[in-house]
Structures are given as structure tokens and as C-alpha cells.
Structure 1
Amino acid sequence: MKGTSVRNTTWDELQPGASASLERTCTMQDLTLFAHVSGNINPLPLPSGMQAATGGEPVAPSIWVGSLVSAVLGTLLPGAGTLYRAQSFNFVDRVRVGTRLTVEVKCIEKREKPVALFETTIREADGRVVVQGIAEVEVPLETIVTEANELPQLILDDHEHFAPLIAVAKRLPPLPTAVLGPDDRHALGGAVLSAEEGLIVPILIGDGGRIRAAAKDLGVDIGRFELIDVPDDREASKRAVGLVNTGKAAAIMKGNVKAEALLNAVIKRDGGLRGVRRLSHAFVLDVPTLDHLLFITDCAVNIAPDLTTKVDIVQNGIDLARACGIETPRVGVLSAVETVNPNIPSTLDAAALSKMAERGQIKGGIVDGPLAMDNAMDVGAAKTKGITSLVAGRAEVLIVPNLEAGNMLAKELTFVGRAESAGLVVGARVPIILTSRADNDRARLVSCALAQLYIHWCRTGRSACSVPGFAKAAE
């Protein structure tokens, strides 16, 4: 209807018996928006609440169903300029998500100008009446012609990708985890929350006085956790690495310390935790507009990686995505353009990485590049530019040209696009839970879940998210 002119019906033109109707299907988004707009958070109209309360399907709030009448009165008959005076409703039956409704109004009486009465009826597809009522309105006196333009698009987060990962990770044995610098609200709070959820057994390392002060501020008891009092960040990092080397810890979690101090201890040739590949960091994002997790790498470790380093970054990203249940990750190697340009080195690296994946030098995923951000994530953009690819428009893992690009992209999605984020460094002998000091408890909890899933994948070669019976038991 975009661009179509719509003319109202004035009081002089309105005749008793005139009617109009529209059809509308009740969706879960309708109920979510109604809860936001009205402030009505009765659990019965919301999916999680309804299932918890009765095990049934969500029931639409009756007043939302009734509100559909106003769409006919204000848009079709009498149309633009109509004002309500009164409305009565008799709610005959309930409406559930997926129900197709027909909303009809019929003029039954014209009173003193400009007032008119309308019979209002809402029926299901089989003709069964669910709502009846009478509307008293002021009918417009002058002709108004409007354009039937579409409303601005709303973005709702209809997908909860992190909760299933946490649920599966909770069924794995908790990880003994060296937690560095848990001396502020988020660092300690995230560690305690992860312990309470059964993901980790924290070993607190840092300034004992500050850690206890943070615990007091949070109102949590840390007496059940081992605490190693080491005020210096670098020495604390060495102690954490030492705990891994002696088998006492199976992961490291960064708290209120600088990443540089931790990573320097990890990558030391003697006594460090180097693995067979270069270390790389991945942001894992739950983006409201996507129906899948999004992995962005490298965003925190390798500043300006060369091609050899990018091979490891790609493989690390594929492995982490597979650990999270993506059987064959689609990997988009990003640049500013989607064609190979010798003047843009990242396009050459992208083309090489794509070919290396074809030849089996990178395993487990489908790699394509160079791709610009638009055609990596949007099928329409890829088609417009004539790109035929199994990855274009459907990328699940994004390989960025350098740390600056990756960090800005991930944080833009987090702070502007309202994505939830988690972070993990892989490539060392144990996973390193690396989040920003500004990240909240939830980000740290999800990051611990990622560490759990990654270790399980490394040990078994299978994702716990796809093991028959295992993931189902976590639902």
C-alpha cells in the first residue's frame, strides 16, 4: 500500500450500514510490543511466562485484540480525523498466537453532528466471534487524503542464542579457573555468577584486600573460594599460568587487569602456554537482527596479522564456531571491497585464505573473500553486486583485516546495535576468558560457557551442543 492515497469518509457522507474490515494475524512480536508499550508484564501473554505457568501457548491480552478496532476506525471508516468518545467490549473468547482475525466495523446510528455509533466485531477465520462491542466516535467533518505509508521498522531480539549455550555448558564438569584481578564489581561478580551456575571453580588471584572489599560491596561470600594474594598484575599472571602448568587450573579468566600482562605470561617460550597455533581472540555476539551467533576475529590479540597469522586466526575461529554447534561454519574474510585489488593488501590475503581452504590447508569451514561487510551479511546486497557464494550474505564467522577494524566492529554492534557479547582467546593450551573491563556479569558468564564448550570440543572432537541426548537434556 506504500504511496497509495487513502480518503476518509466525512460525517455528511457517512450512511448507516456502511462497513469496513481488515485482517490481522496475532504474532508473538505483537504481544512483546504490547508488553513494552503498556507495561503489562503479566506472564500469560509472554512465551516463557506462559510455558512456566501452564505449559500452554501465549494468550493475547484482550485489550490488544480490542485495540485492532481502532485501526479500522482510524484508517478505513470513517478514517483519518476520527476521534474516540467511548468503546465497549464483550470478550467472548481468547486469542492465541497464530490466529487469523477479521476486524469489522459497521455504522449503526448517526447522532448529533459529528457523533456516530459503530458496531465492532472481531472474528476468527472460521467465523467464530471473539470480541463484540460498540464504538462511539466523532466523525471527521472535512475530507482528508493521506498516503498509506509503511510504519518505521522495529527491531526486536526474537532469538536467544546464549541461553542454550549456557544450558549445555552447565552439564559439563565445572572448570577450575584462575581468575585474575577479581577486585571490582563486574570482575568478581562475573566469576561468582559463573561459579553459582556451575561453569567454573574459581581460584581468585590478585590483591587480597581489594578482592575482599569488592566481595563486601557485592554482598557475596568468597570464603568458599581459594584466594591467592598477589598484588602485582604481572606476578599474578605468572601465578595463573603456573596453576595451569601444574594441572590445578584448566582455564584463565581475566578480571580487572591489563590484557598485556596476562598475554605476555601466556606466550612466554619458557613456562608459557603456547599451543601449536598463534593465539587469537574472538568476540561471539548475539545480534538482535540475526538468527545465528556471529563470531568476529581477531579483535584483541594480533594487531596487524600477516597471512600466516591469519591462517591460524581463521582456523581458531572455525574451531570455536564448531564447538558452539555450527557444524560447518561459513567464514567471510572482510575487506573494504569484494574484489581483489593489489592496492588493498587485505583483499589479497582474503583471496589466498579462500583458496587455502579449498585446498584443505584450512579445515572445517567454508571460507570466502574478499567480502565487504554489506555483502558478507546481507543476501540482497550480495545479489545486487552479482556475488555467487555459499558464504556471501550468510557469514557466521567474520575475519577482519586487523585488530582495529575488529574491535570497532564488535563494539559498534554491542554498544550501538545492542548485541550481547562474549569473548575468548583460543590457540593456547587452555582457553583464556578475555572480556573488557567494562563488560557485565552476563558477558563473563557466557564467556565461561564458551570456554567449557571449546574444551569439550578439543577433547572429544564433537560439540556438546550437537551430542544426541546431551543438548536435549539441557533444554
Structure 2
Amino acid sequence: MDMIENRTIDELSVGDVAESERVLTRQDLALFATASADVNPLDVGTGTGGEDGDTAGAEPADDTDELQQGIAQGMWAGTFLSAILMNKLPGPGTRHLGQTLRFHQPVQIGEKIRTRVTVAAVDASSGTVRLDCECLNDAGETVVWGVAEVRAPAEKIRRPRASLPARRKSAHGVRFAALVDRARELDPLVTAIVHPCDDLSLGGALAARDEGMITPVLVGPVAKIEAAAKAAGLDLTGLEIVDAPHSHAAAEAAVALVHEGRAGALMKGKLHTDELLMAVLDKSRGLRTERRLSHVFALDVPGQDRTLFVTDAAINISPDLDALADIVRNAIDMTIAIGVDVPKVALLSAVETVTGKLPSTLLAAAICKMHDRGQIIGGKIDGPLAFDNAISPAAVAAKGIISDVAGHADILVTPNLESGNMIAKQLIHLAGASSAGIALGARVPIMLTSRSDTVDARIVSAALAKVFYHWRRQRPLEAG
């Protein structure tokens, strides 16, 4: 058992030293921001970059922003000085009286920081100790320097070192947590991570592995993958890496792994979505089925009694009737796979009446009739329905709509990508929804992760893919 032991006031001498080392990761900054309530993107290193292979983040806007970032990351380093004081020198039983720190330069993500405290003065009569404190970067340069004053313990203390929980606290909602717990009971899904050449995609894949969701196979340039791992402080020991010279080749190699039976899912890394889908949809070597490929967003919305699914907000720009039918089929399969016995599907438009002036209402009516005729099976379908009529029983009552779906929809089918994307992001950013999602209709589920996805979103997306994969193994993909 790992033990920690203090140094009493009688055991301390001028010149005594204690040190520790730690690599700054993006996740460290995110956790620091959560604990300190400082969620400035500059401070946590998230940047403002877009999706699908855009740059990792915007440069600081000016010298003030750069200084702010440096101070925040320097403060992260400063917390480890306190950790040494409380755990090593003097150690358990120490009372922190005061500390003054100066931040000399920024700490960069991926940089190893050595923190050191040195006893500068000891006053045995009062039990106070003054210690010089400093943090050094890889080059031996001082990034933080200061002085701490403590009251050292008078009695010897030796106890087991407290450890962090084996499973970190999840930020996702109750229903997502239940989904992850269910997925954990299944065998990990071997997943090809396509071009994981940045800390977000690589760290997300490893987090999903640590949660028992997937067994990742990294596909991309080995040198870039290893450099990304080093910069983020991630350990690749034991992971299979399939070398591919660039992102296009990585997408093709990942698809080939599926054909070889070496992968049961794909996860997008740092490449454009169209690069990955080009390989997936290749007519001769891709992963096509009789279904149209479509994306399903899963949203755990605070205040709602069920998970909402929005489709398609990522792949099909303006689907025709045949494409829309497959979008509905894929979404029904997804919700049944995760345990919704009879999913309720609402086909959205601006109104709840059929009119030739709004083509989306005609498509909705046609989909409903296809369901009536058995061309689309599973669940209950109604439409057209406006958004409020789909999810609000009060709105349904006010308009006198008679429907098994209206007011209680599980699946929201949008008429085009723009409206779907806006609905999903409004629920995320205004309603505080936790989000995840996968693309369906190919031979294997595909996690089309975005740069804005949190680690938890990537874990839940992996849980969706895993549950769907194991469900579909018991049931072949059908056209109707």
C-alpha cells in the first residue's frame, strides 16, 4: 500500500527539498476550469476552431489574452506546489498560512513541469516554516516562483495515500449514464480510430477504452500519432497502430479493417467528414448497404423524461422521399437497440397540416402512409408536426391534435440538415443537453465526432455504437 509520511517541525532543516513532475494535458485544464469556475476558452485551451479538421484553436486575440492564458495555466502549475506542501514537505498535518507566487511565462499543453519546494527558514518556537517554491519547464526555465509559509506538524503522521476514484465523475446526464452502464456489460467493440493525430480525438478514444466501450485500433501516420500522444501526455502502450501516410489513406485502411473482420466500428479522428465518408461510400471497396447513410443525434435534455433523437443533422442535406424513409428506418433501429420498445417518430415541419405550399409536409404525409403500408416497420409515426407539437403535451392540447406521437416524440425527423443542425445545437447550448451520436446505414456504426465534442460525448457515442453493434448482430439490416 502506498503510504505518505510527514516531516515534523523537529525533523526539518534549512535546505530540505521535495519535488514532483507532471505533464500538462488539455483534460487537466478542463478539470481546473471546472474546479475554479473559470470557463474562459483561452484558459482551458479549447480554442474556437470549427469542426471536421479545422485548426485546433484560435491564437490568443492579443497580448492581454495571451497573458490571461499564461496566468491560468501557471495557476494550474501552482496548485502542485500546494500538493507537495500538504503531502511531502512538511506533509500531512501541515497548516498552510500563506503563499505568494509570480507567474513568469505560460505553461504549454504537453509540457512536463517539475515543481520543487525548498526549506528556507525554520522557527522551532512557533512551528512556522518558510519555503521557496518554483516550477520549472522542460528547458529548466522558471515558469512560477514564490514563497510559502506553513505551520509544520508537531506529531508524526503516516497514512495510506488517498487515491482518486477509479472512474472519473461523468458529466453526462442520468439516461446517458445508464446507457454507458448497460454498454459496459457487453464485450468492448473493436473500433478503428481514423487519423487520431490530435489530443482530442486520441484522448477521446482512450477515454472510451478506459470506460470499457471500445478496443481502439489507431489508423494513421505513426509519427504524428505518437507526437500527439506525447504532447497530450497519453500512453499508447499495448495499442495497435496501423500506419497510413495521410488522412485519405487512413480512411481507406480503416474501411479495409472492417472488411477483414478486424474492426466492428469506425471513429472519426482529425480529418474532414467527407474524407471518411468518401471511403465508406466507395462503390467497390466501401461499406455500403441497401440503406442510405444517416446520422442520429442523441440528446439527454434536462427536464425531459426521455432521451430525444434528432435526425439527420449531419449527412443528408435535403433528403428526398427515399432518403427520408431510410433516415427514419435508421433512427427507429437505433432507438429500439438501446431499449425503446415502441419509438415515437415525429416528422417535423413548420405546421401540423398538409399543404402543397410546404414540401416538407407532403414528404411527412408520404412517410406516414409508407409506415401504414408496412414499407417502414417499427414504432409509431406521425407528421407533419411542428416542433412544439412534437414534444409539448400542452401545445398538443391547445391545438386539439389527436395523435399517439404528438407531445411525446422520441425521434425528431427534420426536413433538412440545416434545421436539424440548428435544433440539435440549440438543445445543447441553450437547454444544456448532453449530446452524442452515430452514423448508421453502413456495415458498421460510425462515430462522426466533432471538434466541439467533449470526452463524455465521445464516450456516450461509443456506447451507442457498441449497443447498436451487438443488437444488430442478432438482427440483419433490412430495407423495410
* TM-score past 0.5 threshold: yes
Counterpart selection for 2:404 from 365, 371, 390: 390
Tell me the SS of whatever aligns to 1:211. Answer: helix
Shift of 1:176: 1.1
CA RMSD of aligned residues (A): 1.8
1:412 matches 2:426: yes
Number of residues paired by the alignment? 308
Structure 1, residues 192-233: CA drift from partner, whole Å, max 9, x if none? Answer: 011112211111112323322221233221121111232421
CA distance in 2 between counterparts of 1:265 and 1:227 reads 19
Q: TM-score, normalised by structure 1?
A: 0.63
Shift of 1:158: 11
CA distance in 2 between counterparts of 1:158 and 1:338 reads 33
Identity value in percent: 50
Aligned to 1:249: 263
Aligned to 1:166: 180
1:308 matches 2:322: yes
Aligned to 2:447: 433
Shift of 1:295: 0.6
Contact 1:158 1:288 in 2 (8 A): no
Structure 1, residues 109-164: CA drift from partner, whole Å, max 9, x if none? Answer: xxxxxxxxxxxxxxxxxxxxxxxxxxxxxxxxxxxxxxxxxxxxxxxx99611111
1:226 matches 2:240: yes
CA distance in 2 between counterparts of 1:390 and 1:435 reads 34
Shift of 1:350: 0.5
Tell me the SS of whatever aligns to 2:408. Answer: coil
Aligned to 2:221: 207
Out of 237-246 and 203-212, give the one that drifted further: 203-212
1:299 matches 2:313: yes
CA distance in 1 between counterparts of 2:213 and 2:394 reads 40
Shift of 1:437: 1.7
Counterpart selection for 1:335 from 332, 344, 349: 349
Counterpart selection for 1:270 from 284, 304, 314: 284
CA distance in 1 between counterparts of 2:262 and 2:215 reads 11
Tell me the SS of whatever aligns to 1:395. Answer: coil
Out of 222-231 and 288-297, give the one that drifted further: 222-231
Alignment of 1:10-409 (within 5 A): 160-409=174-423
CA distance in 2 between counterparts of 1:386 and 1:417 reads 27
Q: TM-score, normalised by structure 2?
A: 0.62
Larger Rg: 1
CA distance in 2 between counterparts of 1:263 and 1:254 reads 10
Shift of 1:461: 4.3
**Which AA in structure 2 matches 1:339?**
T
Structure 1, residues 178-203: CA drift from partner, whole Å, max 9, x if none? Answer: 00121222211110011112211111
CA distance in 2 between counterparts of 1:245 and 1:208 reads 22
CA shift in 2, pair 1:241/1:374, >3 Å: same
**Which AA in structure 2 matches 1:348?**
L
Tell me the SS of whatever aligns to 1:161. Answer: helix
CA distance in 2 between counterparts of 1:238 and 1:158 reads 33
CA distance in 2 between counterparts of 1:423 and 1:230 reads 26
CA shift in 2, pair 1:409/1:237, >3 Å: same
Contact 1:266 1:273 in 2 (8 A): yes
1:460 matches 2:458: no
Contact 2:173 2:434 in 1 (8 A): no
CA distance in 2 between counterparts of 1:415 and 1:206 reads 33
Tell me the SS of whatever aligns to 2:174. Answer: coil
Tell me the SS of whatever aligns to 2:375. Answer: coil
